[in-house]
Amino acid sequence: MTHWLGPVPAVLVTDDTQAIRDVIARVFTADGYVVETASDGAEALGRLGSRLFDLYLVDFAMPLMNGQELAAVIRRYHPSAKVLYITGYSDRLFAQTTLLKETEAFLEKPFTPQDLREAVSLVLFGHLRGLGATERA
């Protein structure tokens, strides 16, 4: 049973791997989110002119502009932005960042669709109930 009240969340997915973007977009779209994708930081920043997003799902290790750099620029436009880093390199993430902001979290690759749903629900809603999450006892 899906629980959701209010406007549909918009998510910007930025990852330099097309297959990962596609899988994440399918999961979010199936759960009713509005989804846009970007292949790198520059493309993601180009999307900010048209709207702010409820969640920025960002690959941490991308060429030219890593996820942390992208998040810093996003916060100039959207100071309270919620960011979920996805990474296969959590050691790099924590070598550069010893403490995540209150509005940030990370999800280690590889992950399942359920892992993704739970991480997003926690970042967006602060609990495991939200768009696409099933009711918990």
For the chain, give the mean pLDDT: 83
Whether pTM exceeds 0.85: no
- Per CATH, the number for 10-125 is 3.40.50.2300
Q: At residue 68, does pLDDT exceed 80? A: yes
Over range 28-40, report the average pLDDT. Answer: 95
- Contact call for residues 128 and 118 (beta carbons, < 8 A): yes
Burial class (CB in 10 A: 0-12, 13-18, 19+), 45: middle
Spatial separation of the C-alpha atoms in residues 19 and 14, rounded to whole Å: 12
Lookup result for tokens 């977009």: 25
How would you classify the pairing of strands 55-59 and 34-38?
A: unpaired
Spatial separation of the C-alpha atoms in residues 51 and 11, rounded to whole Å: 11
Q: To which H or E segment does residue 76 belong? A: helix 67-77
